[in-house]
């Protein structure tokens, strides 16, 4: 009885096809000739594709809020219990954190690593390998070298060990339950995690379960209040900067400039009015001084000096 109702109607098939096309376009893996043919097949395809793509943009903007709302439908009738639990967890976390800070004898001295113009390789005792991107800093603490704090960008190759409590703090967020190959970028109130192999969890405010990021996906968190976006990416993208290519897929300019600032060696900012515009593309990070200019060219923006760095602005904004 069920099978007949499970059959897709004509318009449902078209909708699913449009979603499929949108997914491959977003991943940069689309066969453009095939896409053209599909659009030509019926005049309605164009509109359905637009609907799917624009709806997805809206969902992406509000993903964190929606994830929280629809995370765990069952216990929602006890919402206040969760709030209480979250508050208790924050309190406990703060107590532990302060306690830890004040008891340096618990662990060996902190190691600070800084990569200047070139990247820097770091090996931890447990066999983990880290490549710290230019202009980035990593702090390693804890008896087991398992409390890391990252400012900037780094590529991690961490052997999976369920008994190990490695955490990475970046951009005000915490990455945990880590294995095995991934990259992290963290700056003020923003982070990006891309996983090539294995999976990990990123803790989000107000979401006790955290968000799982699996191989071939990346998570962006930007803004206040934070907005998180989860998307699939080719696993090859992960750590591609090590071979001189910075691969960016639909990332907001605020996050893009923070990343290229590392390689350019100067502070790059973006005018707030255009900070949420998206950029997709590959930038060659070898050309340090030209990075901001290249980005501006591609996006049709202008570059102007600001403080000891540069700022991307809309053309005609500086009248």
Partner 1 sequence: MFAMYDLHRDALLRFLKARTREPAEAEDVLQELWIRLRQIRPGPIANGRAYLYQMANNLVLDRERERRRRTARDEKWVHQTYEVAEGAAGEVYTVDTAPRPDQAISEADELRQLELAIASLPARAREAFCLHRIHGLGHAEVAARMGITRSAVEKHIALAMKHLRRRLLHCGPATPVASPMTDG
Residue numbers at the binding site for partner 1 (CB under 8 A): 2, 5-8, 11-13, 15-16, 19, 25, 28, 30, 32-33, 35-36, 39-40, 46, 48, 50-59, 61-63, 65-67, 69-70, 73, 79, 217, 230-232, 245, 280-284, 287, 290, 293-294, 297-298, 300
CB of 174 to partner 1, least distance (A): 19
Q: Which residues contact 55 (CB under 8 A, 6 or more apart)?
A: none
**139/294 with CB nearer partner 1:** 294
Shortest distance (Å) from residue 238 CB to partner 1: 16
For 13, 80, 190, 308, the CA distances from 84, given in Å and listed in that order, are 45, 6, 27, 45
Q: Two tokens at 186?
A: 């963290």
159 membership: H or E segment, kind and range: none
> What's the rounded Cα separation, in Å, for the pair 190 and 275?
13
Nearer to partner 1, 164 or 277 (CB): 277
Cβ at position 6, least distance to partner 1 in Å = 5
Min dist. Cβ of residue 92 to partner 1 (A): 25
- In the complex with partner 1, the residue whose CB is nearer, 59 or 98, is 59
For residues 59 and 229, the answer to whether their CB atoms sit within 8 Å is no
Kindly tell me which of 166 and 270 has the beta carbon lying closer to partner 1: 270
Min dist. Cβ of residue 113 to partner 1 (A): 30
Provide φ and ψ at 214, rounded to 5°. -105, 170
- The rounded distance, in Å, linking the Cα atoms of 215 and 198 is 5
Residue 13 CA from chain centroid, whole number: 32
User: Toward partner 1, which CB reaches closer, 92 or 318?
Assistant: 318
Distance between CA atoms of residues 285 and 155, nearest Å: 16
């Amino acid at each position: 009885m069920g099978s007949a109702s499970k059959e897709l109607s004509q318009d449902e098939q078209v909708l699913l096809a449009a979603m499929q096309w949108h997914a491959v376009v977003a991943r940069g893996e689309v066969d453009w000739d095939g896409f053209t043919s599909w659009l030509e097949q019926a005049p309605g395809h164009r509109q359905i594709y637009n609907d799917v793509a624009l709806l997805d943009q809206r969902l992406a903007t509000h993903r964190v809020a929606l994830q929280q709302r629809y995370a765990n439908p069952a216990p929602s009738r006890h919402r206040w219990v969760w709030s209480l639990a979250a508050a208790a967890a924050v309190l406990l976390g703060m107590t532990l954190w302060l306690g830890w800070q004040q008891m340096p004898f618990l662990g060996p001295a902190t190691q600070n690593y800084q990569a200047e113009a070139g990247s820097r390789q770091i090996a931890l005792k447990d066999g983990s390998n880290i490549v710290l991107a230019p202009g980035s800093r990593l702090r390693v603490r804890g008896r087991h070298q398992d409390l890391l704090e990252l400012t900037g960008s780094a590529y991690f190759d961490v052997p999976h060990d369920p008994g190990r409590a490695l955490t990475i703090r970046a951009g005000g967020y915490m990455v945990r339950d880590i294995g095995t190959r991934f990259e992290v970028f963290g700056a003020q109130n923003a982070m990006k995690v891309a996983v090539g192999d294995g999976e990990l969890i990123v803790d989000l405010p107000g979401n006790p379960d955290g968000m799982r990021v699996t191989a071939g996906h990346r998570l962006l968190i930007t803004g206040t209040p934070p907005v998180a976006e989860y998307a699939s990416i080719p696993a090859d993208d992960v750590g591609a900067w090590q071979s001189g290519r910075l691969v960016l897929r639909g990332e907001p300019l605020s996050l893009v400039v923070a990343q290229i600032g590392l390689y350019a060696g100067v502070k790059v900012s973006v005018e707030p009015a255009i900070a949420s515009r998206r950029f997709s593309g590959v930038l060659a990070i070898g050309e340090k001084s030209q990075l901001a200019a290249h980005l501006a060219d591609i996006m049709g923006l202008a570059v102007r000096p600001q403080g000891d760095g540069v700022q991307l602005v809309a053309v005609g904004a500086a009248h």
